[in-house]
Amino acid sequence: EPEVTQTPSHQVTQMGQEVILRCVPISNHLYFYWYRQILGQKVEFLVSFYNNEISEKSEIFDDQFSVERPDGSNFTLKIRSTKLEDSAMYFCASSEVDASTEAFFGQGTRLTVV
Amino acid sequence: GQSLEQPSEVTAVEGAIVQINCTYQTSGFYGLSWYQQHDGGAPTFLSYNALDGLEETGRFSSFLSRSDSYGYLLLQELQMKDSASYFCAVRDRRDDKIIFGKGTRLHILP
């Protein structure tokens, strides 16, 4: 069964460092998303991406965040200068049509900023 | 903006039926989804309702009333493996994103 894969599963980084979280969405999907979840809290929308550009972003997704689809398979989230409060589980998701139907989530990358 | 309200916790007994309610407030509405998340796991899709009524998928059913801005997830014949958090989520018609509620933690007692 096709699935969304994310690497790494865990990432520990020092405050102020840049991190890149990687995702391989399901191959025939057209919409891609990043969400984050701080431990014990709800899943928060960060950004959606369609047709090689950002289609929607939240207030959380400020200038220190960026996304890229460098080739036909990868979808990355870059955090330029990490802060302690960026520590969370980051989920990548993709959907075949749009956000109105089923989104498939990867297993997440647990980011810890120290 | 959008907001969703659902109970923070629900407790039920194995083999019983439980209903998790969700009310939403959005400027537009495209549909209501339900996701399940086990501890340490990723959200997994359970159901989607765009029109009023009940959708049934095995032991799980989901209901939507657009006029009441209300929906629920019904879980029947509860099993211990159903212990998880359940999130309702909406898409505002104008926005290409899914907004999640805060989740309902379902505890199942033997």
Q: What is the pLDDT of residues B10-54, one digit of tens each?
A: 999 999 999 999 999 987 788 899 999 999 899 999 998 989 999
Contacting A residues, span 49-108, partner chain B, CB-CB under 8 Å: 50, 55-56, 58, 91, 98-108
Contact B28, B94 (CB under 8 A): yes
Contact A100, A33 (CB under 8 A): no
Mean pLDDT for each consecutive 10-residue tract of chain A (114 residues)? 92 97 93 92 90 89 94 92 96 79 90 97
Q: State residue A65 phi and psi, 5-degree precision.
A: -105, 145
CA atoms of B70 and B92, how far apart (whole Å)? 15
Which of B42, B44, B96 lies closest to A99 in CB terms? B96
CA atoms of A91 and A104, how far apart (whole Å)? 10
Q: Using an 8 Å CB-CB cutoff, list residues of chain B that contact chain A.
A: 30-31, 33, 35, 37, 41-45, 48, 50, 87, 91, 95-103
Q: B102 to chain A nearest CA, in Å?
A: 5
Beta bridge partners of B44: B36
Q: State residue A69 phi and psi, 5-degree precision.
A: -120, 85
Which of A41, A55, A103 lies closest to B98 in CB terms? A103
Reported confidence tier of residue B6, pLDDT bands at 50, 70, 90: very high
- pLDDT in the model for residue A10: 97
Arithmetic mean of pLDDT, B47-75: 95
3-state helix, strand, coil split of chain B in percent (to 5) is: 5, 55, 40
